[in-house]
């Protein structure tokens, strides 16, 4: 999939505080967190970041981001989601490939956070060692943890893990192809 | 050759997650060729025009499910079985299929270990190979999720 990500926005507001220099950068944002509606704002922000994920936006909230390192994102699974009507009738299970999509979207957000400004295009190059270990059912809270493991030119390698209550539900190795053009400069 | 109605008698998947349209060649228990057409009013195109690559994996897994399920039906027409997507290895994308294309899906059983089946999978659009890799399914004759 070719995903284009717009990163002209300010850094993603976090649902929890970052660390190190990230914390200074985000202090203003975390202050805003205490005001009502911050969650909604972050969700809208995510929505704009990932080009057209409407029916399959698999991330509700980002809890931790470390540039060029790792990201932790969360999704709540509810029986009301439309694809659960067909997967499967009478026995809702979150489709494994959508768990994988959550990991991919986490990796895309991590890439988007790692650049300052410019035009960024990402495409999924390869998925490897994907294992679905546990069914995810309505009522679960899925945590997507994605870690950057290596960079080889424009290929970035990630290791992702989806957890439910600390139990690994799925894991995957992902390779994204990153195409970045600088636009303008920072003042 | 198998039409969508027969696919629905083997797979439990229904709209919006039935992602194989027709089976054009079927060797029960061994392999098969299926097709999926992409049309503009499907739910995953929402302003975009590419088929999400993770759903391509699902199409392949469903084709694998038909291959295994048709084998079980051949042996016993009333058999009950349950398949789950177990994993993917080494799946490489050349490009994403886009709106208006017909995807040809090809799976071939390469290995089976206990209840895990490994398929070599390939995806073509008009003869051009756009993705390939291996898909793992777990398939059992008794539904494992009953105790939940």
Given this model, what pLDDT does residue B101 score?
93
In contact, B80 and A117? CB cutoff 8 Å? no
pLDDT score for A140? 94
Give DSSP secondary structure letters for chain A.
Answer: -EEEEE--SPPPPPSS---THHHHHTHHHHHHHTSTTHHHHHHHHHHHHBSS-GGG---SEEEEEETTTEEEEEEE--TT-GGGGTSSTTS----HHHHHHHHHHHHHHHHHHH--SSEEEEEEEEEEEEEE-S---TT-EEEEEEEEEEEETTEEEEEEEEEETTEEEEEEEEEEEEEEE--S---
How many angstroms away from the CA of B27 is the closest CA of chain A?
A: 26
What is the H or E stretch that residue B137 is in? strand B128-140
| Chain B residue with minimum CA distance to A132 | B86
Q: Which helix (H) or strand (E) holds B129?
A: strand B128-140
> What is the predicted pLDDT for the residue at B147?
44
What pLDDT does residue A157 have? 96
Q: What is the pLDDT of residue B35?
A: 95
> How do residues B89-112 score in pLDDT, each as one tens digit?
999 999 989 999 999 999 999 999
Cis amide bond preceding B34, omega within 30: no
- Please indicate whether, in this complex, the C-beta atoms of B44 and A55 are within 8 angstroms of each other: yes
**pLDDT at residue number A32:** 46
CB contact under 8 Å between B88 and A128, yes or no, is: yes
Sequence spans of domains, chain A: 2-181
Query: Which stretches in chain A have pLDDT values below 70?
Result: 1-36, 39, 43, 47-49, 51-54, 184-187
Please say whether the beta carbons of A100 and A170 come within 8 A.
yes
* Residues of chain A found within 8 Å of residue B92, distances taken between Cβ atoms: 125-126
Residue with tokens 């932790």: A72
Return the pLDDT at A113. 84
B4-140: CATH architecture: Roll (3.10)
Contact B91 A128 (CB under 8 A): yes
**Nearest-by-Cβ selection for A56 from B15, B44, B96:** B44
**8 Å CB contact of A132 and B85:** yes
B97: distance to nearest CA of chain A, Å? 8
Q: Is B142 on the interface with A (CB under 8 A)?
A: no
Q: Considering only alpha carbons, which residue of chain B is nearest residue A57?
A: B44
- Model confidence over A47-79: pLDDT tens digits? 666 766 667 888 888 888 898 999 999 999 999
* Residue A164 pLDDT: 96
Of B14, B54, B61, the CB nearest to A86: B14
Nearest Cα residue to A33 out of A49, A18, A48, A50 = A18
Min Cα distance B118 → chain A (Å) is 12
Q: Which pLDDT score is estimated for B82?
A: 87
According to the model, what pLDDT value does residue A14 have?
Answer: 54
CB atoms near residue A158 (< 10 Å):
23
How far is residue A3's CA from residue A112's CA, in Å, rounded to a whole number? 11
Q: What pLDDT score was predicted for residue A6? A: 44
- A126/B12 touch (CB, cutoff 8 Å), yes or no: no
| ipTM score | 0.88
Q: What is the pLDDT of residue A26?
A: 45
Whether A181 sits among the annotated catalytic residues: the reply is no
Q: Tell me, what's the pLDDT at A30?
A: 45
- Across the interface, whether the CB atoms of A132 and B47 are under 8 A apart is answered no
Identify all chain A residues contacting B16, using CB atoms and an 8 Å cutoff: 82-83, 85-86
Low-confidence ranges of chain B (pLDDT < 50): 147-148
In total, the C-beta contacts within 8 angstroms joining chain A to chain B are 96
Collect all residues of chain A within an 8 Å Cβ-Cβ radius of residue B57: 97, 100, 127
pLDDT at A180: 83
- Looking up tokens 């999720």 gives B145
Yes or no, beta carbons of A88 and B12 under 8 Å apart: yes
Nearest to B16 among A2, A52, A86 (CB): A86
Predicted pLDDT of residue A61: 86
Domain boundaries, chain B: 4-140
Q: Which residue of B has its CA nearest to A126?
A: B92
Q: Which CATH number fits domain A2-181: 3.40.190.10, 3.10.129.10, 3.30.2350.10, 3.20.20.70?
A: 3.10.129.10
């Amino acid at each position: 999939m070719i995903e284009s990500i717009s990163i002209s926005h300010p850094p993603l507001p976090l649902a929890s505080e970052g660390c190190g220099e990230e914390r200074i950068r985000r202090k203003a944002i975390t202050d805003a967190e205490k005001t009502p509606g911050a969650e909604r704002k972050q969700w809208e922000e995510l929505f704009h970041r990932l080009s057209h994920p409407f029916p399959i936006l698999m991330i509700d909230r980002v809890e931790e981001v470390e540039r060029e390192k790792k990201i932790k994102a969360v999704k709540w699974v509810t029986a009301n989601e439309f694809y659960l009507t067909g997967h499967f009738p009478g026995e809702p299970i979150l489709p494994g490939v959508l768990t994988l999509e959550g990991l991919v979207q986490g990796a895309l957000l991590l890439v988007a956070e790692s650049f300052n400004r410019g035009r960024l295009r990402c495409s999924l190059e390869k998925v490897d060692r994907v294992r679905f270990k546990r069914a995810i059912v309505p009522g679960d809270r899925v945590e997507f943890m994605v870690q950057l493991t290596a960079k080889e030119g424009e290929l970035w390698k990630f290791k992702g893990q989806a957890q439910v209550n600390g139990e690994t539900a799925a894991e995957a190795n992902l390779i994204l192809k990153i195409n970045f053009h600088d636009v303008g400069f920072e003042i | 050759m198998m039409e969508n109605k027969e696919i629905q008698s083997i797979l439990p998947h229904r709209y919006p997650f039935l992602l194989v349209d027709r089976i054009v060649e079927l060797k029960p228990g061994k392999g098969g060729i299926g097709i999926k057409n992409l049309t503009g009013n499907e739910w995953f195109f929402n302003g975009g025009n590419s088929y999400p690559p993770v759903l391509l994996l699902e199409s392949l897994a469903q084709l694998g499910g038909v291959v295994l399920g048709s084998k079980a039906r051949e042996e016993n027409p009333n058999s009950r079985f349950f398949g789950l997507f177990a994993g993917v290895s080494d799946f490489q994308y050349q490009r994403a299929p886009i709106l208006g294309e017909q995807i040809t899906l090809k799976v071939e059983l390469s290995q089976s270990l206990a209840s895990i089946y490994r398929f070599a999978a390939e995806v073509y659009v008009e003869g051009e190979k756009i993705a390939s890799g291996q898909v793992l399914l777990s398939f059992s004759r008794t539904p494992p999720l009953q105790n939940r």
